[in-house]
């Protein structure tokens, strides 16, 4: 079957032979051929359609092999009597794609079982269909029916029911159970991350406040650069003072030499020894100091040290 682009809503009977060339701005209501679903009347001792739907996988088990991938729908006919449908979502979706019908133009899908009741038998896309004695629409071999009506001629006059196919118009990569598991896992991870983020944020704010408090408590300069510069100077001065004390302590610790005087000025120390052996004094001092110079001047040994 070929449709040329028109505006408005079109009704299309979907069979395995359906083919479209072009559809523009056309909304389509698809009537799905019995090829794509199983339908049975079952007597089920329950009151509601929802309760009936729960037992359908077991009831269809004897008729269909591929139970796991089926979707079930139910219409209540009488008390305890239900018209039950089972269909493979993927097969219908693939048939739609094969027919080259864009899913965005599909308005709704219907079971042919419920929509073609006014015709006992009909023909679409070289396939023939008829209702059985218990009102079930079935596809029949072409040679079984001789004179049949072409449904496409009257299809747009069909008044569609409110019972639509609950189909998913996309390829299911995973079972929907897995999707829910993924949603839950991802959701929990997002919540966990957000909790962590806000916890880090609080800790961040607390540390910033604490930093300001510490700066005030120690009366630190406003900028880190200033603090670092002052600390560098302080450390340099203190280090020099320690060096001076170490030097004085080393010089005074030797009682063997007769030290007459010691003068410390900035980083240099001038010493005067009385009656001391120049080499001995030099050797002793050079063990501790790198820059030592000495001169003997009338019994007085004058030594200069740079620290």
Residues of the shown chain interacting with other proteins in the complex, contacts defined by CB under 8 A = 103-104, 106, 108-109, 164-171, 173-174, 176, 179, 182-183, 186-187, 189-190, 193-194, 196-197, 200-201, 203-204, 207-208, 210-211, 214-215, 217-220, 224, 227-228, 230-231, 234-235, 237-238, 241, 244-245, 248-249, 259-266
Output the smallest distance, CB 186 to other proteins, in A.
4
Within a 10 A sphere around the Cβ of 248, how many other Cβ atoms? 14
Provide, rounded to whole angstroms, the least separation between the CB of residue 87 and other proteins: 13
Query: What minimum distance in Å lies between the beta carbon of 234 and other proteins?
Result: 4
Contact 178, 36 (CB under 8 A): no
Closer CB to other proteins, 192 or 295, in the complex:
192
In three-state secondary structure terms, 33 is coil
Determine the Cα–Cα distance for residues 129 and 141; give it in Å rounded to an integer: 8
CB of 80 to other proteins, least distance (A): 29
Nearest to other proteins of 135, 171 (CB atom): 171
Kind and range of the H or E element at 13? strand 8-14
| Whether 113 contacts 187, CB under 8 Å | no
d(CA 11, CA 159): 10
Please state the closest distance from residue 82 (CB atom) to other proteins, in A.
Answer: 22
**Cα 306 to Cα 122: distance, rounded to the nearest angstrom:** 119
Nearer to other proteins, 6 or 240 (CB): 240
Give the CA-trace dihedral at 6, 12, 16, 18, to 10 degrees.
-20
């Amino acid at each position: 079957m070929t449709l040329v682009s028109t505006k408005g809503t079109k009704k299309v009977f979907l069979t395995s032979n359906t083919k479209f060339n072009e559809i523009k701005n056309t909304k389509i209501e698809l009537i799905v051929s019995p090829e794509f679903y199983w339908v049975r009347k079952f007597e089920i001792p329950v009151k509601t359609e929802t309760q009936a739907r729960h037992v359908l996988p077991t009831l269809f088990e004897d008729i269909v092999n591929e139970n796991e991938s089926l979707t079930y729908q139910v219409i209540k006919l009488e008390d305890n009597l239900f018209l039950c449908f089972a269909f493979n979502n993927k097969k219908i979706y693939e048939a739609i794609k094969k027919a080259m019908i864009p899913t965005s133009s599909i308005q709704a899908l219907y079971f042919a079982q419920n929509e073609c009741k006014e015709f006992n038998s009909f023909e679409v896309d070289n396939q023939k269909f008829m209702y059985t004695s218990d009102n079930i629409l079935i596809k029949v071999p072409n040679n079984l029916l001789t004179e049949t009506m072409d449904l496409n001629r009257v299809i747009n006059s069909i008044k569609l029911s409110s019972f639509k196919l609950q189909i998913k118009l996309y390829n299911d990569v995973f079972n929907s159970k897995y999707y829910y598991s993924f949603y839950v896992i991802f959701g929990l991870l997002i919540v966990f991350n957000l909790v962590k983020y806000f916890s880090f944020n609080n800790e961040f704010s607390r540390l910033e406040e604490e930093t300001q408090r510490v700066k005030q408590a120690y009366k630190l300069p406003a900028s880190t650069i200033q603090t670092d510069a002052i600390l560098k100077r302080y450390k340099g001065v203190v280090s020099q003072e320690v060096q001076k004390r170490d030097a004085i302590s080393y010089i005074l610790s030797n009682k063997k030499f007769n030290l007459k005087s010691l003068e410390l000025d900035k980083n240099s120390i001038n010493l005067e020894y009385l009656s001391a052996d120049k080499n001995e004094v030099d050797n002793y001092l050079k063990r501790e100091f790198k820059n030592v110079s000495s001169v003997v001047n009338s019994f007085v040994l004058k030594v200069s040290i740079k620290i």
